[in-house]
Structure 1
Amino acid sequence: MSDTKTIVLRKPLKHGKDDAETVVSEITLREPLAGDYEKAEQSAGVYGTSIALIALLSGVPIDVIDQMYGSQIDEAEDFIASFGHEAARNPERSADEIVIQLTKAVQITKEDSALNIASLSLSEPTNAQKRKAEAAGGPFARMVALISLIGKVPKSSVRALCARDFLEAAAYFNGFQVRRSPDSDD
């Protein structure tokens, strides 16, 4: 799986005026970070979270992304979704505790610091922890808050997680929604 994808636009798009006019003939997307999902959620406005996320990941203004053909938006969304494909493929009941070895270690500072992480130790949240995370805002902001709270790492470190690691942690928490069967030993 590549960390980037370039989509050549079938129709070049323009933005800006006069000497500042820019023509966009392609967009290059990168793998999202957890913080990108959160920012897109906060800035979605009339365009929606998906369009805001594509704009963030490509560095192209949101109103230009809004002019793209639907099939090319779908292509961008498929690329972004591919990073969470494994985590969402077969939902299973989550274990009470888990240590996730990060695909890409988070390196926020040069010195040895709690901001830099190579793994996340997570456990099933209590109702009080879930309520506290709910106060953070939308679904992505809540997940950042929950991972920070349970994993005992700063939100800035969670926001720096690559999509694969962030979505694996989210899938772990979602695994508590899978019901245990009445005849299980759990």
Structure 2
Amino acid sequence: MSDTKTIQLRKALSYGKGDQAKTVDSITLREPTAGEYEKAENAAGVYGLQIALIALLSGVPVDVIDQMYTSQIDEAADFVGSFGKEAISGMKASADEFELVLRSPVKLTADESPLNVASLELSEPTNQQKRKASAAGGTFASSIALISIVSKVPKNAVRALTARDFMAACAYFNGFQLRRTANSDD
């Protein structure tokens, strides 16, 4: 899987006025971070999460992305969604505790700091932890909060996780739903 994807637009799109006018004939996307999912969720408004995330990742205004053909939006969304496919396809019941070794360690400072993380120590959340995390807002904001609370890692570090690492942590938490099936002995 490539870390970036450039999509050639079938119709060039323009925005801005006068000296600030720009025309784009392609957009380049990359793997999002957990924080970018959260930003897109907050900015979704009338355009929706998918359009907001594509705009954020490409650096092209959301109203310009909204003018793209739907097949090209789908192509962009498929690329962005590909970073979570491994976590979703490997869904299984979760163990009580789990160390998630990050594919891409987070290094937010040059110093030795809790903001720099190479792995997350995760465990089954308590109901209290889930309630506290859900107060953070939408789905992505709540997931970031839950990972932060359970792993005892600051939210800024969790927001810097790559999509693949973020989705793996989310899949671990979702695995507790699989574990508690009717024929389970847990």
Contact 2:94 2:179 in 1 (8 A): no
Q: Which amino acid aligns with 2:122?
A: L
Aligned partners of 2:36 and 2:183: how far apart in 1? 42
Q: Deviations over 1:26-51 (max 9, x none)?
A: 00001000000000000111001110
Aligned residues: 186
**Mapping of residues 1-186 of structure 1, within 5 Å:** 1-186=1-186
State the Cα distance separating 1:61 from its structure 2 match: 0.5
The alpha carbon displacement at 1:110 in A equals 0.2
Residue 52 of structure 1 aligns to a residue whose secondary structure is helix
Which range moved further: 3-12 or 88-97?
88-97
Question: Which residue identity does 1:34 align to in structure 2?
Answer: A
AA of the residue aligned to 1:30: R
**Alpha-carbon distance, 1:73 to partner:** 0.4
Tell me, in whole angstroms, the C-alpha distance in 2 between the residues paired with 1:169 and 1:179. 16
1:70-112 Cα distance to aligned partner (Å, 9 max, x none): 0000000000110000100142111111000000000000011
**Aligned partners of 1:120, 1:96: CA distance in 2, in Å?**
14
Provide TM-score, normalisation by structure 1.
Answer: 0.97
CA RMSD of superposed structures (Å): 1.1
CA shift, 1:18, in A, is 2.2
Counterpart-to-counterpart distance in 1, 2:169 and 2:144: 10
Aligned AA (1:40): A
Consecutive unaligned residues of structure 1, counting only runs of 5 or more, are none
- Partner SS state of residue 173, structure 2: helix
Shift of 1:183: 4.5
Give 1:181 deviation, angstroms: 4.3
Stretches (4+) displaced over 2 A:
179-186
CA distance in 1, matches of 2:168, 2:148: 14
| Unaligned segments of structure 2, at least 5 residues | none
- Identity, in percent, stands at 66
Deviation for aligned residue 1:179: 4.6
Query: Which amino acid in the other structure matches residue 98 of structure 2?
Result: I
One-letter amino acid of the counterpart of residue 133, structure 2: A
SS in 2 for 1:25: strand
- 1-side partners of 2:35 and 2:184: how far apart? 38
